[in-house]
C-alpha cells in the first residue's frame, strides 16, 4: 500500500468502539479514549462501493475517520453500523417492472420493490437514469427518490425486456 493510500484510512479499526447513546444517536470511541456523540456514518461512494469506505462524521459534519470495510470493525459493532446505513440510504431495489411507458422524455413506472409497490415518474436523462457498470441501473425519480436494479440480467424476462426497449 502506498503512503497516500494508507493515509486515507484509520490505523486500528478493530479498536474503534461504536455504541448507541441514550438519545438514540451513535457514540464513537477511538483507541486513544477520545469519544464523539451524535456520530453519522456515511458511505464515501454509496453507488459504486456500497457498504465499503465508511466515514464517521461528528455532530458538526467533520470527518473523524474512514474505514475500508464494514468487516474491519469489531464483529459486535457491525450490526449497529449496518442498521445506521440501512436507515440512511433509502434506496429501493426494483424486483419487477409491472409497467413502463414513455411519453416525450418522461418515463412512467409501476414497480415491485423490496419495500413494496411503488409508482414513479423519471425524467429521462443521463443523470436520472444512470448505468453503474454493464448491468446495474440507478433511477432517480422527479422527487429525488432513488431506486436501483442491481442486475438487469436477474430480472424476470418481461421486466428486463421493458427496461431494454425503453432505456
Query: Would you tell me which residues interact with another protein (CB under 8 A)?
Result: 22-24, 46, 61, 86-92, 102-106, 113-118, 121, 123-126, 142-146, 165-166
Least Å distance, CB 31 to another protein, is 26
Please tell me the distance from the alpha carbon of residue 65 to that of residue 131, in angstroms, as a whole number.
30
Which of 15, 59 has the CB closer to another protein?
A: 59
Which of 32, 143 has the CB closer to another protein?
A: 143
Which of 29, 92 has the CB closer to another protein?
A: 92
Residue 50 and residue 64 in contact, taking contact as beta carbons nearer than 8 Å: no
Least Å distance, CB 81 to another protein, is 15
Please tell me the distance from the alpha carbon of residue 35 to that of residue 124, in angstroms, as a whole number.
46
Length of the chain: 167
Which of 74, 142 has the CB closer to another protein?
A: 142
Q: How many CB atoms lie within 10 A of CB 98?
A: 14
Q: Which residues contact 166 (CB under 8 A, 6 or more apart)?
A: 100, 102, 107
Least Å distance, CB 118 to another protein, is 6
Amino acid at each position: 500500500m502506498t503512503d497516500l493510500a494508507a493515509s486515507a484510512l484509520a490505523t486500528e479499526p478493530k479498536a474503534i468502539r461504536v455504541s448507541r447513546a441514550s438519545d438514540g444517536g451513535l457514540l464513537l470511541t477511538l483507541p486513544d479514549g477520545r469519544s464523539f456523540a451524535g456520530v453519522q456514518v456515511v458511505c464515501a461512494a454509496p453507488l459504486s462501493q456500497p457498504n465499503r469506505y465508511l466515514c464517521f462524521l461528528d455532530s458538526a459534519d467533520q470527518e473523524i475517520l474512514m474505514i475500508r470495510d464494514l468487516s474491519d470493525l469489531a464483529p459486535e459493532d457491525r450490526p449497529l453500523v449496518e442498521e445506521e446505513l440501512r436507515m440512511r440510504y433509502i434506496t429501493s431495489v426494483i424486483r419487477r417492472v409491472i409497467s413502463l411507458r414513455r411519453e416525450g422524455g418522461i418515463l412512467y413506472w409501476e414497480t415491485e420493490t423490496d419495500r413494496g409497490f411503488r409508482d414513479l415518474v423519471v425524467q429521462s436523462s443521463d443523470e436520472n437514469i444512470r448505468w453503474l457498470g454493464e448491468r446495474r441501473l440507478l433511477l432517480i425519480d422527479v422527487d429525488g427518490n432513488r431506486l436501483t436494479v442491481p442486475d438487469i440480467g436477474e430480472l424476470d424476462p418481461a421486466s428486463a425486456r421493458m427496461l431494454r426497449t425503453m432505456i
